[in-house]
Amino acid sequence: MPADAVLLFEDEPVLRLFPLLRRAWGLRGEALRIGITGRNAKRVLFGAFNPRTGHRLLLQAPNMKQLHFQSFLRLLRRAYRESPLWLLLDEAPCHIAPRSQALARHLNIELLWLPKQCSELNAMDQLWREMKGSISANYQYSTIDAHVAFAQAWLFSLTDTEAKRKAGILSKNFWLHSFFK
């Protein structure tokens, strides 16, 4: 990796209007009631995380099509104009699409594939997991836009150090720990 390159983790959750059900406290012997409206909607938040600085970037999209991932690649290039970018990500269909890979090459973004079924290696995935547990679990928002707004506000309310800690970067057991010394 060139000395001036920027390493980023990329991942995208699908936020749904129906609540994500997780364990929750309730009265013994009584079923926990979680109200839902009966209608559903979804949005995707493409996100990138710089493990050195804690900087985060987001792009909201209606779905995970390659067109939206390509828009996110352009956003990354605008944010890091001069630096070569190395992007650690999974092999989602929108990521491995030939046009997405061609655009990444054109934008001087090196795509580095994480092993399949290893979300624990992706720091951005760890941030999303924390976010879902904090604001998405067991609660239905009035609109999908409200849910997305809360998710974005949660992610950007973290200090850079808090984001690194929640992503696991500060752990001595982080798989790239020696890389960040």
CATH number of the structural domain spanning residue 43: 3.30.420.10
Domain region containing 37: 6-23+33-173
Cβ atoms of 109 and 87 closer than 8 Å = yes
What percentage of the chain reaches a pLDDT higher than 90?
Answer: 64
CA atoms within 13 A on the CB side of 122: 26
What's the mean pLDDT in 118-122? 89
Residue 78 pLDDT > 90, yes or no?
Answer: yes
- pTM of this structure: 0.86
Any domain includes 70: yes
Domains: count for the chain = 1
The per-residue pLDDT of the chain, averaged, comes to: 89
User: 54 exposed, middle or buried (CB, 10 Å; 0-12, 13-18, 19+)?
Assistant: middle
Any domain includes 60: yes
